Amino acid sequence: MDEKGIHTDFLKRMTYGEYLNLDQVLNSQERLSEHHDEMLFIVIHQVKELWMKLILHELNAAIAAITKGELQEAFKMLARVSKIQMQLVQAWDVLSTLTPAEYMEFRGSLGQASGFQSYQNRMIEFALGYKQSHILKIYEKNPVLLSELKKSYEAPSIYDVSIEALRKEGFPINPTLTDRDFTQTYQGDPTVADAWLEVYRDVSKYWDLYQLAEKLVDIEDSHQQWRFRHMKTVERIIGHKTGTGGSSGVGYLKKVLDHRFFPELWDVRTKL
C-alpha cells in the first residue's frame, strides 16, 4: 500500500528518536564484562527504573489529588500504577532466563552495586509508607539526591492522606495520626480500623472511600507480588549468597514480605 502522506523530510523537523532522546537512552547500556548476558541484566534493570519513574509520577500526583479531595482524579492514577506494577512483576520472568552459571561470569563486575540501592524503589516505599532512616546513608555520595530522598522520607504517605480523607468525611480518627511524625512507619490504629469497617459495611454511602480503599489494596497486592517474584528470582540465580550490596539477599527479601503498608485494609476482610 502506497502511503503518500508519510513524512520523510526531517532535515528541519523533530524526529521520533529526537523526541525520545533515543541516542542517549540506547547508548546507556555499557557492559563491564564481555559476557553476552550482561546486556540482559542491564536492560532489565534500566527498564524497571523507567517504570518506577512513572509509578512515582502517578503516586505523587495521586497523593496531591487525595489531599485536595479530588478522589476521582486519584483513582485513574492509582489504576495506572497497578498496571505498571504488573509490567514490573513480569520483568522478573525475563531476568529469570539468566542461569546461575551465566550470572557468575560477570557478577564480580558489579562490585558493591546492587538493586538494594535503587533510590526510586526507596521513594516508592516512602510514598507507600514504609520508612527506614538507615537507608538514607547509602545516598550521601550525592547531596542533591539525598535532599530529594529526605523530602520523600519526611512527607506523608498515600495512606496518611487517605486517613486524613476519612477524617474529613467525619469519621472520629485519632487526631495524633494526622499530625504525626511521618518519618515513622505507620503501625495501625483502632479508629482507622473502625472507619474502614464502616466504609465497607455501607459501600453505597461511602462509595468514593470504598473505591480508594480497593485501589490501595490493588497496589499493595501487586507490590507484594513484585517482592515475591524478586525473592524467588534472586533465589533461583544466586541461592542464599549475600547480595552484592551486602544485604542477606533472599533472607532480607523474605523478611520484607511480612510488611503491610495498609494493615487495616487487610484486617477489615476478616471483620466483615
CB burial of 121-138 (b: ≥16 within 10 Å; e: otherwise) equals bbbbbbbbbbbeeebeeb
The residue type of 268 is V
103 is in an annotated binding site: yes
Q: CA-to-CA distance for 240 and 247, rounded, in angstroms?
A: 11
CB 84 within 8 A of CB 54: yes
One digit per residue, pLDDT tens: the chain, 272 residues?
Answer: 677 788 888 999 999 999 999 999 999 999 999 999 999 999 999 999 999 999 999 999 999 999 999 999 999 999 999 999 999 999 999 999 999 999 999 999 999 888 889 999 999 999 999 998 888 999 999 999 999 999 999 999 999 999 999 999 999 999 999 889 999 999 999 999 999 999 999 999 999 999 999 999 999 999 999 999 999 999 999 998 887 878 888 988 998 898 999 999 999 999 99
84 is in an annotated binding site: no
CA atoms within 13 Å, Cβ hemisphere of 249: 15
CB 29 within 8 A of CB 42: yes
Mention every residue, 6+ apart, whose C-beta is less than 8 A from residue 187: 263
- Look at residue 104 and tell me if it is in a domain: yes
44 is in an annotated binding site: yes
pLDDT at 243: 77
* Grid coordinates given for 174: 485519632
269 is in an annotated binding site: no
244 is in an annotated binding site: yes
43 is in an annotated binding site: yes
The label of the residue with cell 546492587 reads 114
171 is in an annotated binding site: no
252 is in an annotated binding site: no
CB burial of 86-101 (b: ≥16 within 10 Å; e: otherwise) equals eebbebbeebeebeee
- Look at residue 23 and tell me if it is in a domain: no
* Grid coordinates given for 182: 511521618
- Look at residue 22 and tell me if it is in a domain: no
Number of separate domains in the chain? 1
- Look at residue 151 and tell me if it is in a domain: yes
CA-CA distances (angstroms) from residue 143 to 1, 135, 183, 220? 56, 14, 19, 31
Q: CA-to-CA distance for 39 and 102, rounded, in angstroms?
A: 12
Q: CA-to-CA distance for 93 and 232, rounded, in angstroms?
A: 10
Closest listed residue to residue 151, CA positions, set 72, 66, 63, 225: 63
94 is in an annotated binding site: no
pLDDT at 1: 65
- Domain with 152, as residue range(s), is 31-271
pLDDT at 8: 83
- Look at residue 24 and tell me if it is in a domain: no
- Look at residue 16 and tell me if it is in a domain: no
- Look at residue 14 and tell me if it is in a domain: no
CB 243 within 8 A of CB 224: no
Closest listed residue to residue 125, CA positions, set 88, 155, 93: 155
Residue 131 belongs to a domain with what CATH number?
Answer: 1.20.58.480
Q: Residue 75: how many CB atoms within 10 A of its CB?
A: 18
Q: Residue 50: how many CB atoms within 10 A of its CB?
A: 13
- Look at residue 15 and tell me if it is in a domain: no
Q: How far is CA 8 from the centre of its chain?
A: 40
